[in-house]
Amino acid sequence: MIEKLLVANRGEIATRVQRTAHRLGIGTVAVFSDADSDAAFVRDADEAVRLPGTAPADTYLRGDLVIAAALATGADAVHPGYGFLSENAGFARDCAAAGLTFVGPAPEAIAAMGSKVEAKALMEAAGVPVLPGVTVAPDTDLAAAGERLGFPLLVKAAYGGGGRGMRVVGDPADLAGAVESARREATGAFGDGSVFLERYLVDPRHVEVQILGDGHGTVVHLFERECSIQRRHQKIVEECPSPAVSEALRAELGAAAVAAGKAIGYTGAGTVEFVLTGQEFYFLEVNTRLQVEHPVTELVTGLDLVEQQLRIAEGAPLGPDVRDATITGHAIEARLYAEEVTAEGYLPATGTLHRFDVPGDVRVDSGVGTGSVVSPHYDPMLAKVIAHAPTRDGAARTLARALSGAALHGVTTNRDLLVGILRAPEFLAGDTDTGFLVRHDPVALGAGTLAAGGHRHAAAAALAAQAQHRRAARVLGGMPSGWRNVGGAFQRIAYRLGDRELPVAYRFRRDGLDLRVDDEPLDLTPVSVTPDVVVTEIDGVRRTHRVHRAAGMSYVDGPDGSVALQELPRFADPHAITRAGSLLAPMPGSVVRVLAEVGHGVTAGQPLVVLEAMKMEHTIVAPADGVLGELRVGSGDQVDSGQLLAVVEEPGS
Amino acid sequence: MAVLRSALDTRSEEYRRNRAAQLEAIAALDAELEKVVAGGGERYVARHRERGKLPVRERLELLLDPDSPFLELSALAAWGTGFTVGASLLTGIGVVSGVECMVIAHDPTVRGGAMNPYSLRKSLRALEIARTNRLPVINLVESGGADLPTQAELFVPAGRIFHELTELSSLGIPTVALVFGNSTAGGAYVPGMCDHAVLVDKGAKVFLGGPPLVKMATGEDADDESLGGAEMHSRVSGLSDHFAVDEPDAIRIGREIVARFNWRKLGPAPSYPQAAPLHDPEEILGLLPPESKVPFDPREVLARVVDGSEFDEYKALYGTSLVTGWASVHGYPVGVLANHRGVLFSEEAKKASEFIQLANQTDTPLLFLQNTTGYMVGADYEQGGIIKDGAKMINAVTNSTVPHLTINMASSFGAGNYGMSGRAFDPRLIFAWPSAKLAVMGAAQLAGVLSIVGRASARSQGKAYDEEADAARTAAIEAQIEAESHAFHITARLYDDGVVDPRDTRTVLGMSLSAVHNQTIEGRRGFGVFRM
């Protein structure tokens, strides 16, 4: 019997594991880094232990500190969640040595599957179909290996996951560089820089099978999940069942997964990942942990996978509910990330989540809430939103509506992209594969939700601000808004939406409201206006927009989309004028390299500073020929979005 | 509290006729106000903008708190004279950083913002309102100085501007000058006399004598910047407290200055529920007869102006030509005196005197709604002591120290104008509706009186009376008096603080009441000798 469970993780998964533990009557202990000291999962835990520092290597990857925390609080089991220590065989072993139950498979199974190279060999031996590949050793002839496998090929971290340390290489000339950078990323993220090469199937489907094994030799599968919608090899939309899997194929996949599990004597929850093209599937890897996307399986089977993990860890055999599980309906999960979807890629976003509210009949597994601070230190996933409906179309529709109606204020998210995907005809037809977001421009896909260019939203924001001004007025608050007895001056307020400016001018007249957005008249009748809710009628259509103002932003959510409008100050701050040639950090991250020196000449396009944020390196280049006049950062510095990095001056200035 | 019931039939022919006539009067008002807003006209406004300068109304809008109301005063100053209507000056009460302020702003597109005799009266009236109601003053300065051809009328009284400014300061009422452009010679004393001065870089020119005058006087060669630029005054002379990089920056600084006044209103906050009237203010237009001869019940007006249409009448059955009672507007209590059937008899005068004393006992501001033809004449009334009773009322009005607000709804003739707190009796603010008339008496009566006097004089001298000449003279006089009684003519001469749309009355009164409450509200307990 587990009495007290330490969750060696953070964010939504820590919260999710605690939820089941508490339901089962199990006490919980959280561990937290300095950056997470105010996080929800820390508040929700019965007890919490601080891990000093913020970097994962100092905190959530420190198995010794985690075990010490478990011992200090009297916990008898450790749930590793996903990522961090979840697939670290050494940690599993250390737990056992410390007398703690590790909620997961045996260290041997983790070790066997931890190296993707060894795992492949094992699976091949067990009769599971695999893709050809080569392990990179110091003496490996990369060129020859590449030629043998053919291009494009994939460079993968042997101990990686979640897309980290992974590179697709199309050109043989790029192979060495890709191996080097994958190695560096893997070392940073997983503490092991081993990589291997593998044949790369262009745009297959990603289909995985959930398995559960108990300590009594039983391994069952809980059907497949399709996770083909990926950006940068990271899943963002997952579902169960897969629209591409027939009953017969499901049986084949399930059998292969169970065979894989049995081959390594698997206990606990695991996932066998495959790539699927047509009816052919190949083994990819086994994830010896709970997957991020496990909720879709839970919703269609009615099982609680964390509960199953805990039962298995307690030594119980799999029950009939697991052995006879069936699929009911269809579940789709969307991963809500704090990130900006741009033509240049997906840039992690940070900030304070002034409001987080997802409406509708959906499951929300979230590590954040209103008031949470999204820091640059960890994975930028905010929450998973999962819909369950009798049909796939129904689930997609429910999920899209919940997401589009969500209040997500203060942090840029990929919400619009997710909604765009869920409403895309190709997605709805089930034509999903890993090339989906290559074929479809993510920016265009995510641009469809905002109607009328945001004019209605800007109008609603202005009217709400107006109501707030009247309400907060120290004197004359009861007078008609903006009243004039001579002339009819317009009240003016301007917003920035993306790279556009949306000035709003309005005046309340005896015969109604006279309102213009971006110098275009908008025939709008205010039905009711408060600082929070603006009901308007435009061309006979009544709509309600919710307006939330925080930190200079107006967040407007309506049936015609959501926007974050930055209110432009009425008066310029004389101190805030940025010098020409100033280079600002495009996102939060850390400086990995500085490539130029102050006083030296630079040419347009010359790399000056390299930033790393999450999984990407961003190079800041000189905007024009000139001289590096100022350099404000050094290697290793943590920078915030918009922070001044360097100034390029005109020669001789 | 008693709620007023309305007997107004909004479907009647009379209502439609009244409304049409009032809309016409309002349209005439709006047409004049449009000229005021246009300032010096498109060409001069464009030239002003080309110099990187903001028109006066844009300066004002930037200065005021977003979405706050602004009560412009004396907008039609100089109407019907040789000077541009508005008198090259904009004044009014508005909210800056949460503080009700008197804004006095030059319109530099009208003859360079030069001051004429009407601008002077408008400026002095604004300063007087600021002083009596304790309103901080913000000057938006850009003026070429005096309109020199009228200097004879200007020079001596204009000194009063500086007197007022420094007196305000001595009373603890802050004064601010935001200098955008010319502020030379006498004008240089505006930033000089104000508590706070902000000068705009490359715009402000503040000196006693410009380069030509200096050259003539001393032979010195000096340029504008060294004589009076923002940089010089901020770094060298110290006349400028704040150096503004541009016009918006000066306004930003001005707002910050006001935000630090630590301003507290001395009068009490609104103390009644600020419920809207039960009847639509729009209907006021339909109850106002176009002919001043036709009386109307002022209770119908009150039902469309006061909070919740609630009005507790005082002495409802006595002196019924004058309606008196208690109400509130935007939460501020008021005592109301409103003419009903025009004429003030002895009873009305005595009722008013008592009521004014009661209001002073309870520190309640008074609202005078004028529609009066004056005190009753005739042997019975003279013998009944109408002079003594009228004197009581004027005594009470004069010595009352609670704030008075006056609105001429339709007519204000004879001593009725005095008794009903006309301009000479220092109402804190006084307005008129567009079709209102004001004169010593009605045009026809005045012309008729002159005709009778002329006839009597001819008779006493035994001369024949020229009936034809009399008719022509009578008609001419009637036309002249009619024109001079017109609301625009009155307001042009600063005899009131503006002509307002009747439908805005509740807002105008609310803003006025809020403004007067910056000052202590204290009634007089002892009065002068009442002649009984």
From B531, B517, B527, B524, select the one nearest B133 (Cα to Cα): B517
- Of the listed ranges B61-75, B150-164, B237-251, the least confidently predicted one is B150-164
Interface mutation vs chain A, best among B67, B89, B503, most A CBs within 10 Å = B67
Predicted pLDDT at A615: 67
* B406 — pLDDT class (breaks 50, 70, 90): very high
- Of the listed ranges A2-6, A80-84, A140-144, B193-197, the least confidently predicted one is A140-144
Which residues of chain A does B514 touch, with a Cβ-Cβ cutoff of 8 Å?
A: 475-476
| pLDDT over 90 (residue A222) | yes
Q: How far apart are CA B359 and CA B405, in angstroms?
A: 13
**How many other β-carbons are positioned within 10 Å of the β-carbon of residue B526?**
6
**How many other β-carbons are positioned within 10 Å of the β-carbon of residue A390?**
10
From A635, A632, A642, A551, select the one nearest A588 (Cα to Cα): A642
From A67, A108, A97, select the one nearest A85 (Cα to Cα): A67
Which residue type is seen at A290?
L
Decide if B69 and A469 are in contact by the 8 Å CB cutoff.
no
Specify which residues B94 forms β-bridges with.
B70, B101
Q: How far apart are CA B92 and CA A516, in angstroms?
A: 27
Output phi, psi for B64, to 5 deg: -75, 155
Output phi, psi for B417, to 5 deg: -60, -40
| Average pLDDT over all residues of chain B | 94
Q: Which residue has the tokens 């996903």?
A: A82
C-alpha A571, offset from chain centre: 37
Q: What does each C-alpha distance from B446 to A71, A355, A416, B139, B438 come to in angstroms?
A: 107, 73, 78, 43, 13
Peptide bond into A152 cis (omega under 30): yes
The residues, any chain, with a CB within 8 Å of residue A479's CB and separated by 6 or more, are B68, B69, B330, B507, B510, B511
Q: How far apart are CA A138 and CA A102, in angstroms?
A: 34
Q: Which two tokens stand for residue B520?
A: 């202590």
Predicted pLDDT at B152: 87
Q: What is the sign, positive or negative, of the torsion defined by CA atoms of A368, A374, A378, A383?
A: positive
Q: Which two tokens stand for residue B435?
A: 């079709």
Q: SS3 for A76-108, per residue?
A: CEEECCCCCCCCCHHHHHHHHHCCCEECCCCHH
Interface of B with A in 313-342 (CB under 8 A): 330-331
Mean pLDDT of B499-507: 98
The predicted-structure confidence for A415-445, as pLDDT tens digits, reads as follows 999 999 999 999 999 999 999 999 999 988 8
Beta strands in B433-495 (DSSP E): 437-439
Q: Which two tokens stand for residue B215?
A: 């050259």
Q: Which two tokens stand for residue A222?
A: 């809980």
* A577 — pLDDT class (breaks 50, 70, 90): very low
Q: In what order do the strands lie in the sheet with A601-602?
A: A582-584, A644-649, A626-631, A601-602
Which residues of chain B does A510 touch, with a Cβ-Cβ cutoff of 8 Å?
A: 503
Distance, in angstroms, between B252 CA and closest chain A CA?
A: 6
The predicted-structure confidence for A476-508, as pLDDT tens digits, reads as follows 999 999 999 999 899 999 999 988 999 999 999
Which residues of chain B does A484 touch, with a Cβ-Cβ cutoff of 8 Å?
A: 69-70, 72
Q: Which residue has the tokens 């999960």?
A: A333
The predicted-structure confidence for A579-620, as pLDDT tens digits, reads as follows 557 788 888 888 888 888 888 888 888 888 888 877 678 888
Which residues of chain B does A493 touch, with a Cβ-Cβ cutoff of 8 Å?
A: 66
B265 CB near a chain A CB, below 8 Å?
yes
From B427, B410, B435, B443, select the one nearest B341 (Cα to Cα): B410
Predicted pLDDT at A652: 58
Q: How far apart are CA B90 and CA A87, in angstroms?
A: 76
- Spatial contact of B18 and B286, defined as CB atoms under 8 Å apart: yes
Q: Reduced to 3 states, what is the DSSP secondary structure of residue B394?
A: helix
- Calculate ∠ Cα A424-A426-A429, nearest 5°: 110
Decide if B514 and A474 are in contact by the 8 Å CB cutoff.
no
Nearest chain A residue to B256 by CA distance is A571
| Average pLDDT over all residues of chain A | 91
Write the DSSP symbol of residue B268: P
Predicted pLDDT at A449: 62
Q: Which two tokens stand for residue B87?
A: 């008198």
- Spatial contact of B120 and B164, defined as CB atoms under 8 Å apart: no
Q: How far apart are CA B127 and CA B135, in angstroms?
A: 9
Q: Which two tokens stand for residue A302?
A: 């009615």
Pick A210 or A585 by higher pLDDT.
Answer: A210
pLDDT above 70 coverage of chain A, percent: 97
pTM of the model: 0.84
- Spatial contact of B234 and B242, defined as CB atoms under 8 Å apart: yes
Predicted pLDDT at A578: 47
Interface mutation vs chain B, best among A463, A474, A475, A567, most B CBs within 10 Å = A475
- Of the listed ranges A14-28, A53-67, A357-371, B202-216, the least confidently predicted one is B202-216
Q: What is the sign, positive or negative, of the torsion defined by CA atoms of A577, A578, A579, A581?
A: negative
Which residues of chain A does B504 touch, with a Cβ-Cβ cutoff of 8 Å?
A: 483, 485
Distance, in angstroms, between A568 CA and closest chain B CA?
A: 14
Decide if B511 and A479 are in contact by the 8 Å CB cutoff.
yes
Task: Count CA within 13 A, CB hemisphere, residue A228.
Answer: 30
Q: How far apart are CA A529 and CA A546, in angstroms?
A: 10
Predicted pLDDT at A166: 83
Q: How far apart are CA B496 and CA B493, in angstroms?
A: 8
- Of the listed ranges A436-445, A616-625, B55-64, B366-375, the least confidently predicted one is A616-625
Output phi, psi for A423, to 5 deg: -105, 0
| pLDDT over 90 (residue A161) | no
pLDDT above 90 coverage of chain A, percent: 65
- Spatial contact of B132 and B428, defined as CB atoms under 8 Å apart: yes
Sort residue B193 into left (φ over 0), alpha (ψ -120 to 50) or beta.
Answer: alpha
Helices (H) and strands (E) in chain A, counts: 18, 40
Q: How far apart are CA B527 and CA B392, in angstroms?
A: 10
Burial label for B35, CB within 10 Å (0-12, 13-18, 19+), is middle
Nearest chain B residue to A466 by CA distance is B67
Which residue type is seen at A127?
G
Interface of B with A in 477-506 (CB under 8 A): 498, 500-501, 503-504
| pLDDT over 80 (residue A40) | yes
Write the DSSP symbol of residue A640: -
Peptide bond into A172 cis (omega under 30): no
Predicted pLDDT at A118: 80
Decide if A473 and B66 are in contact by the 8 Å CB cutoff.
no
Note the ipTM here. 0.95
Specify which residues B406 forms β-bridges with.
B368, B430
Predicted pLDDT at A116: 75
Q: How far apart are CA B423 and CA B225, in angstroms?
A: 44
Q: What is the sign, positive or negative, of the torsion defined by CA atoms of A632, A633, A637, A641?
A: positive
**How many other β-carbons are positioned within 10 Å of the β-carbon of residue A521?**
10
Burial label for A239, CB within 10 Å (0-12, 13-18, 19+), is buried
